[in-house]
A and B are shown apart, each in its own frame.
Chain A
Amino acid sequence: GQQLNQSPQSMFIQEGEDVSMNCTSSSIFNTWLWYKQDPGEGPVLLIALYKAGELTSNGRLTAQFGITRKDSFLNISASIPSDVGIYFCAGLLASGTYKYIFGTGTRLKVLA
């Protein structure tokens, strides 16, 4: 099945630093979703994006829907230890189906 290219795969950062990650594809999407997943738990929806160029924030998190509709970015500002986990993106293809395509995830570790 199709998957989104998500990078980086993992990152270690110091507490207080900003974090950026992105998802890219050759396909066009009409929705981008960003999730955080803790070990052994279901993913939690962080941000939903619906329009090309849209920039949406949720606390310290900011995500953008790429202008080409083929990519999306997530930024976390001033990271804290509880930000640790796996973040992944999901896109809903613009082709009319209701199938979501998922990124492989970015594992974030925050060093206090």
Chain B
Amino acid sequence: DGGITQSPKYLFRKEGQNVTLSCEQNLNHDAMYWYRQDPGQGLRLIYYSQIVNDFQKGDIAEGYSVSREKKESFPLTVTSAQKNPTAFYLCASTPRGDRGRNEQFFGPGTRLTVL
């Protein structure tokens, strides 16, 4: 069954701790993305990666880090430098090779709460 998985669904963190959110896809998509969603706001791009071992900052990258060592995996680390990390985090992927097919698919999300 193809798709995008994110784990865990709910995550609690104490202030000052780093935490890593997992994102895995078996769609053979080249591009992967991390977004943050806050109540009443649209999705905001944190980081994106168009190819393995390469990634670019999005609009709100401060306090976050990523890696792309494998095509199917794009973990996001929320560091203690992120001032307001409580949010719903969404991972997405897109087939990059054919620009005629640019559907972006999302995972189920991880809700992070800082205590």
Interface residues of A (CB under 8 A from B): 1, 3-4, 30-31, 33, 35, 40-45, 48, 50, 88, 90, 92, 98-100, 102-105
- Chain B's closest residue to A43 (CB) is B106
Please determine whether B58 and A100 come into contact, CB atoms closer than 8 angstroms: no
**Are A40 and B111 in contact (CB-based, < 8 A)?**
yes
Task: Give the secondary structure class of A's interface.
Answer: strand
Quick check: A88 and B42 within 8 Å, CB to CB?
yes
Report yes or no: A102 in contact with B42, Cβ–Cβ below 8 A: yes
Interface residues of B, dominant DSSP: loop
Q: How many residues of B contact A (CB 8 A)?
A: 31
Given contacts A43-B106, A44-B106, A100-B45, could you give 6 more A-B pairs where the C-beta distance is less than 8 Å? A1-B59, A4-B42, A35-B106, A98-B31, A98-B48, A98-B50
Q: Which residues of B contact A33 (CB under 8 A)?
A: 102-104
CA distance A35 to B90 in the complex (A): 14
B113 within 8 A of A: no
